[in-house]
Structure formats: C-alpha cells, structure tokens
Structure 1
Amino acid sequence: MNIRAATADDGEPAALVLRRSIAELCGRDHENDPALLASWLANKTAEHFRDWVRAEDTLCLVAEGDDGAILGVGLMSRSGEIRLNYVSPDARFQGVSSALIRAFERGAAQLGVARLTLNSTATAHRFYLARGFRDEGQPQTGRLRENIYPMAKVLSQTEA
C-alpha cells in the first residue's frame, strides 16, 4: 500500500470509495435511512473531491494498493482537523485508515501542527480511541442517528 497526495484524476474512484464506505460500513450511523444517507453522500462526488484536492488549505491523501486501486481517502485541514478518513469496504481491516492517520500525523508535524482534531462517527469512535485520540467534550447530536464524538490527539516529537 502507498499513501500519496491525491490528484484531480483520482476524483471518480475516490468518490466511489467515499460513497461505498459510508453506505456499506457506517450503517450504525445512518441506519439505512434514505434521506439521512442522501444528505451524508451529497458532497461525496468526484467534483467535490477535485475541489478538496485543489484547495490550498487542505491535505488530501489517497491510499492505493499495489495494483493502483484507491483503497482509502483522507482529508485534513492545514490546521490539523481531519475531515475525511474512509476506507473501501474491500480493504477493511487491512490497515488503510491507520496508514492515513500516520500520514496525517507526519503532515501535521511538517506544518508545525501539534494537535489533530476530528469529529468521529459512532462507527469509528473505538478506532480513533485505539490510535491515541481522546474524547474532547460531550458527544454531539446532529444529522446522524448516533452521536458525533469531538476528539483530539496531541502529537509528540517522536511521531514527527
């Protein structure tokens, strides 16, 4: 697996990974509610992905397999907010999301950012806890069926 900066050419396959990951792996959060799922997927399009790639205030990454297929998609603001971290259902439990987190930690260190933040779904909450993130404040209710967990991780010098 290779983690690299995303390009505009990744738009279609990356959007497919995002959409499949949400639809197939985040059922606990959307409970297959068509309106809720449609709302969550609304901006997970190739064109929105290309906008994220072109944005100067974000770091957009993809994880690709040995065959070049996109296995995961991640997006982090240059201030250290992880906005996307999704894995293809075909690559679940193969370390893709963990590799994206490590890449964000390295990127944050290069940018001089000492703390990562994110809003975790209920589905991913345990994953982030296991990677050193801690809950920050009370879970938030919102557009998903389950709570959203504000989380943060302080980066140490050894993670740079």
Structure 2
Amino acid sequence: MSFLIREAQREDASAMSAVLIASITELCHADHGDDREKIADWTANKTPAGILDMLAREGFFMAVAELDGQIVAVGATTAAGEIALNYVAPSARFRGVSKALLAHMEADLASRGFAEGKLRATTTAKTFYFAQGWSADTLPDGAAACFAMHKRLGR
C-alpha cells in the first residue's frame, strides 16, 4: 500500500478539519471519555478556519497523507523540533498511514538539523509511539493529559 505524503495546502483545510475532528471524536475515547465538552474544547481550533490559521503560523509545518486521492492523515512539526499533530482518519487506521506520516515528520526534523524529536502523546497514541521507538520523558501524575516523549533521530 502506498501513500502520498505532501505539504498541506490552503485548499486542504476542509478535508484536514474533517480528518482531525473524526480522529479525535471517534478514536480518542481513552482521552475524552466521550465527554462532549472535552471533545468541543479539543476540536475548537480544528475547524477549516483554525486549519488556515495553523497553515499561516510561522514555524509550523503541516503535512497530509493521501490514500486513493483522499486526505486520510494530518501531521505537523514545529521550528522547535516537535511533532505537534499526527492524526489519522478512522477509516485509515491500522493501514500504516500514521507510521508513514510519522517517519516523514521524523525525517523532516532530522533534515532541519534536529538530533532528537519531541512530542506530547495522548493516552490513545502513546502505545503507537512506543512501538515506533519513542521514549517517555516522565510518567504523568493522573492529572496530566499528555505524555512527553522523545526520540533520537537519524542513525
């Protein structure tokens, strides 16, 4: 199975929004517990307008993965060497899309001179990141919403 991973464009905003909202709503139950307020807070900036704001943000690099011409995953890295987003459409889950997008973002960070990548993983995603060679910086105290993680990039 092959994917096209490319830089996100303004005209992708609606499709990117749909992927982000569906991924959060349908796949991140362990994080939001189906609490409508938590979901609304988490997805508030994931509207098409919010995506356009992200695309315009200095030092925020967004990518999309396409499968059969449809955007099925959204990722972002920052100028600080962080992976800020890595979300997959529910219909594309377990098809290697997130893994391919993560590898693309890791290579992007390495090409910009970062020896180590950083991210904050949700409860839903932490097992995925562990399987991709990422390590937890610290274990959260019950109140923490995300796990700080890092990975040595390159060789």
Report deviation, 1:74: 0.3
Q: Percent identity?
A: 41
- Superimposed CA distance per residue, residues 106-152 of structure 1 (whole angstroms, 9 cap, x where no aligned partner): 1111110111111111111100000010000231524xxxx421100
27, 39, 42: which one aligns with 1:40: 42
**Whole-angstrom distance in 2 between the partners of 1:69 and 1:139:** 36
Report deviation, 1:52: 1.7
Q: Does structure 1 residue 5 correspond to structure 2 residue 7?
A: yes
The gaps in structure 2 that reach 5 residues or longer are none
In structure 1, the residue matched to 2:19 is 17
Please report the TM-score for the alignment, with normalisation by the length of structure 1: 0.91
SS of the residue corresponding to residue 129 of structure 1 reads: helix
Report deviation, 1:63: 0.2
- Superimposed CA distance per residue, residues 17-46 of structure 1 (whole angstroms, 9 cap, x where no aligned partner): 000000000011101111111111111111
**Whole-angstrom distance in 2 between the partners of 1:156 and 1:105:** 8
- Runs of 4+ in structure 1 deviating by more than 2 angstroms, as ranges, are none
RMSD: 1.2
Q: Does structure 1 residue 116 correspond to structure 2 residue 117?
A: yes
SS of the residue corresponding to residue 123 of structure 1 reads: helix
**Whole-angstrom distance in 2 between the partners of 1:51 and 1:112:** 26
Please report the TM-score for the alignment, with normalisation by the length of structure 2: 0.93
